[in-house]
Amino acid sequence: MNPRASRKLVLFGFLAVAMVLTSRLYAQHMTLEGQTGGFLTPTAYVVESEKGHVLSYPAIGFHFVNTAKVIGNVETVSITEGFANRAEIGYTRSIHQLGDSTVPAEGAFSNLWNYDGMNVFHGKVVLIKDAQFAKWVPGVAVGGVVRTGDKFVSGALNQELFGVLKTYSNGDVYAALTKTWAKKPVPFLVNFGLKFTNASIYGLGGQSTRFGGRLFGGIGIPLPGPWKTVIVPSAGFTQQPKNAVNLGAIMPFTGAHIPTTLDYAVRVTQREHPHFSFDIGVGQVAGTIGTAVIPTGLPSPYPPYLFIPVNLQARHVVGMGVAWRY
């Protein structure tokens, strides 16, 4: 396990779904981008409104990804408001620090993330509540995410290639199906969804080369814990766009290859009427994603180009998150 490996990938890769015992347990927890769900992946639940109230109490969340080596550490601070147990909207500020690798090649690639962060706005509507028509019917929700101020990777490379730092806006449109089964013999939660996105690795990997469909999903098993808590081990996956704008210019032969993120995590929360949750997990995200071709500018007999593997040092990354609903 490398707790300092690539933070950007931890983001997505952490906890496609860290699930809980009932839908009420999900209502107070937010993803890395501020939506209700797991560490990274949204579910078909929203921030809970009390009976007889349209507006919920606001839910706040904080996430930290310790992957300082190449990408740099990332923290996110989120606030989300629910409406009548049918919808939610929210805002997240993603905060970033530069990577600290002392390896020259890795330090050079860290410059692709040498920016403060970006803004994330999100909204979600529940079309069908979990078990609304029958016990076996899953919840169905649709939502969207808009990210602004994204200079990572694609914007940074635009400056290197064309002399202009470009700021991108990108987003997702998704549908999620979520089923909680809180009955014997084995209670579980299953989540599965499809999103269309033009963001590579939730914007941390830059602008995707096209707006395309990606799958996500996961499963969690709630176990009773001490002091009226529930402990939920989970595993999940999130497909990522394979390439980003401008990356092909420095990887002309291999291109970039960002694999599907796998994640393994644990959530701790209250069994009933929860107001807090805590997540910690490990993500398998990306190691070497291709080979960069760098001109040396040196005369013969020196080689005109260097071929450098691009290793994001994110095969094993660690992150944590906490959320609180008033």
What's the pLDDT at 121? Answer: 98
* Total domain count, the chain: 1
Q: Which residue has the higher pLDDT, 67 or 60?
A: 60
Quote the pLDDT of residue 21: 36
pLDDT in tens, 233-286: 888 888 999 889 998 888 888 788 888 888 888 888 887 767 788 889 888 877
**pLDDT for residue 104:** 66
pLDDT number for residue 1 = 45
163, part of any domain: yes
Residue 19 pLDDT greater than 70, yes or no: no
Q: Single out the residue of 80, 37, 63 nearest to residue 320, CA to CA.
A: 63
Spatial CB neighbours of 274, under 8 Å, sequence gap ≥ 6: 20, 24, 25, 27, 28, 325
Helix (H, G, I), strand (E, B) or coil at 9: helix
**Where do runs of H (alpha helix) occur along 62-199?**
104-110, 154-162
The pLDDT mean for the chain works out to 84
Per-residue pLDDT for 7 more than 50?
Answer: no
Give ∠ CA 245-159-6 in degrees, rounded to 5. 60
Q: How far apart are CA 221 and CA 186, in angstroms?
A: 8
8 Å CB contact between 244 and 226: no
The residue type of 29 is: H
Token pair of 266 as six digits:
């644990």
Instruction: Show the domain range for 27.
Output: 7-325
190 bridge partner residues: 179, 219
Do the domain assignments include residue 306?
A: yes
- Average pLDDT of span 53-75: 87
pLDDT of res. 178: 94
Angle value at C-alpha 253, between 248 and 256, nearest 5 degrees: 45
pLDDT tens sequence across 34-44: 999 888 889 99
In a domain, 1, yes or no: no
Residue 152 in tokens: 């990572």
Length of the chain: 326
2: in domain: no
Taking the C-alpha atoms of residue 106 and residue 116, their distance in angstroms, rounded to an integer, is: 19
Predicted confidence band of residue 102 (pLDDT cuts 50, 70, 90): low
Residue 246 belongs to a domain: yes
CA distance 175 to 193: 6
Residue 179 tokens read as 């089923």
| pLDDT tens digit sequence for 189-229 | 899 999 999 999 899 889 999 999 999 998 888 888 888 88
CATH of residue 196's domain is 2.40.160.40
* 23 within a domain of the structure (yes/no): yes
Answer yes or no: are the C-beta atoms of 282 and 317 closer than 8 Å.
yes
Pick left, alpha or beta for residue 285 (phi over 0 → left; psi -120 to 50 → alpha; otherwise beta). alpha
Most confident of 16-20, 83-87, 201-205: 83-87
For residue 324, name the pLDDT band (cuts at 50, 70, 90).
confident
Tell whether 310 is covered by a domain. yes
Note the pTM of the prediction, 2 decimals.
0.84
313, with CB counted inside 10 A (0-12, 13-18, 19+), is buried
